[in-house]
């Protein structure tokens, strides 16, 4: 790319005239598209799911953290256009790839969505385009996978196009930190790529931190989530030890958290879920093994976190047995199937594993979740049931798997004959004969 063309792109970014395209309008891509539209950029969101396209065009939301009013405002003003046709990339100058990066059944990185997105971009790649990958992935993906595929078009990095990685850091359900409030990491496949990507993000985000390479940015995101996964595993193992010793793990954590330095509290629970925590450490471990290093701590943490849903089922069975009730035929009411509080995402949710195992053991299961209307388990479709005193009284046990703030925990404690609390959601009610806590 000539210096003149590069300068022109930079000028268009500063003037907020550069045409933005966001591939994938999920919990990452949709907020990003809205922020650029609000900032005055002409934005097109590209989404493969026609139902989502129709939903957005109607000004409706399917992402918990994005209000319908936010969508309606930018769609009606035509600041954000939504389409399923990738041909709009032919005119795009800033392209952000926000697609899923799951693990395969064999616990290897599945880059199929990224590869499809990059191939789509390559078909419409033209001089003056900046491509930024936001999807979490293993270190080296941007330079080892995306760059060769894009240069196969005959266009060259820094001459014709620019390429960078900037990991999404959205915390679904977090009302305090929205996209614009979270510092953005940027690593380029070249220094000038990093400069242009950082400049683009600075139009919508207050703090942008540029690192020396895309590989560093990729690694930093994996460290963030591996840190959380490993510490949650420690909290989970501590919960198992405390139960064996007859000690209240929640009181232990609360006591340790009084130290003003050197300790950060993490909570145990029935397991981890979502698109990041169960997946990201696996990406890092896979890449490490490719290079001949076995990451033992990460592997043990994964084992502990994957064990927790099964331990939760054992705890439910133990609680029923203590009341002379077998799990087979027991009417159990599961409270929350989303992977975390106040979101509607069931990807990798421990609740799914718990439901599967309870059904396998012959329990009669129903669930309630204000964010998940239906869920399919073992080929059967279950629909959310409203929490009422009558429903609670009719079950043998209510199991708090996801501690949504919408649940009336006093109602639950007062009317369910047994409450198995896997999230310490009933802590305000103190010790009770009908409550069993993790």
Residue 70 falls in which region: left (phi positive, over 0), alpha (psi -120 to 50) or beta: alpha
What are the CA-CA distances from residue 158 to residues 106, 125, 152, 212, 215 (Å)?
37, 13, 15, 16, 18
DSSP codes joined into one string, 146-213: IHHHHHTTT--BTTTEEEEE------TT-SS--GGGSPEEEEESSHHHHHHHHHHHTTT-S-EEE-S-
Question: Taking a C-beta distance cutoff of 8 angstroms, is the pair 186, 211 a contact?
Answer: yes
Strand partners, 186: 210
* Residues in CB range of 376: below 8 A, 6 or more apart: 382
Does residue 333 sit in helix, strand or coil?
Answer: strand
Distance CA 120, CA 117 (A): 5
Closest CA to 313 of 266, 363, 272, 268: 363
Distance CA 313, CA 270 (A): 9
What are the CA-CA distances from residue 434 to residues 14, 116, 181, 350, 410 (Å)?
61, 52, 42, 23, 13
Catalytic pick from 55, 242, 276, 395? 276
What are the CA-CA distances from residue 367 to residues 3, 12, 137 (Å)?
60, 51, 34
Distance CA 337, CA 416 (A): 18
DSSP assigned state of 332: E
Two tokens at 54? 């129709």
Strand partners, 334: 367, 399
**Strand locations in 139-211, DSSP E?**
161-165, 184-188, 208-210
Query: How many other CB atoms are found less than 10 A from the CB of residue 357?
Result: 18
Distance CA 330, CA 313 (A): 13
Which phi and psi (to 5°) does residue 237 adopt? -65, -35
How many degrees, rounded to 5, is the angle at CA 250 between CA 335 and CA 422?
Answer: 20
276 tagged catalytic:
yes
User: Which residue reads 């896979």 in tokens?
Assistant: 286
The helix (H) or strand (E) run that includes residue 407 is: none
Q: Please list the active-site residues.
A: 276
């Amino acid at each position: 790319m000539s210096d003149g063309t590069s300068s022109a792109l930079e000028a268009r970014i500063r003037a907020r005239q550069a045409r933005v395209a966001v591939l994938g309008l999920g919990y990452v891509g949709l907020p990003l598209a809205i922020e650029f539209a609000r900032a005055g950029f002409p934005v097109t969101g590209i989404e493969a799911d026609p139902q989502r396209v129709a939903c957005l065009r109607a000004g409706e939301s399917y992402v918990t953290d994005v209000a319908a009013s936010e969508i309606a405002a930018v769609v009606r003003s035509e600041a954000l256009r939504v389409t399923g046709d990738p041909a709009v990339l032919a005119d795009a100058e800033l392209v952000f790839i926000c697609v899923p990066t799951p693990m395969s059944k064999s616990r290897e990185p599945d880059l199929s969505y990224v590869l499809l997105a990059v191939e789509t971009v390559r078909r419409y790649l033209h001089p003056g385009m900046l491509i930024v990958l936001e999807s979490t992935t293993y270190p080296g993906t941007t330079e080892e996978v995306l760059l060769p595929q894009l240069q196969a078009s005959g266009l060259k990095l820094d001459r014709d196009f620019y390429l960078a990685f900037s990991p999404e850091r959205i915390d679904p359900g977090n009302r305090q930190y929205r996209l614009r409030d979270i510092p953005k990491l940027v690593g380029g496949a070249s220094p000038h790529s990093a400069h242009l990507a950082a400049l683009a993000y600075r139009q919508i985000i207050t703090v942008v931190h540029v690192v020396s390479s895309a590989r560093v940015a990729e690694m930093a995101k994996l460290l963030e989530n591996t840190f959380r996964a490993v510490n949650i595993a420690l909290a989970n193992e501590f919960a198992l030890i405390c139960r064996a010793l007859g000690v209240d793990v929640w009181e232990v954590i609360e006591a340790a958290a009084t130290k003003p330095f050197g300790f950060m509290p993490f909570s145990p629970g029935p397991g981890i879920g979502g698109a990041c925590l169960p997946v990201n450490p696996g990406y890092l471990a896979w890449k490490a093994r490719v290079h001949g290093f076995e990451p033992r701590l990460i592997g043990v943490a994964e084992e502990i976190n994957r064990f927790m849903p099964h331990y939760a089922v054992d705890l439910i069975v133990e609680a029923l047995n203590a009341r002379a009730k077998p799990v087979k035929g027991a009417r159990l009411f599961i409270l929350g199937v989303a992977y975390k509080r106040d979101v509607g995402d069931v990807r990798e949710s421990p609740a799914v594993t718990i439901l599967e195992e309870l059904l396998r053991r012959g329990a009669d299961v129903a669930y309630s979740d204000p964010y998940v209307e239906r869920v399919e388990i073992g080929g059967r479709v279950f629909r959310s049931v409203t929490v009422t005193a009558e429903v609670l009284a009719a079950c043998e046990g209510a199991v708090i798997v996801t501690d949504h703030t919408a649940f009336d925990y006093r109602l639950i404690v007062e009317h369910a004959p047994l409450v198995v609390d896997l999230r310490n959601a009933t802590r305000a009610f103190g010790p009770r004969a009908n409550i069993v806590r993790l």
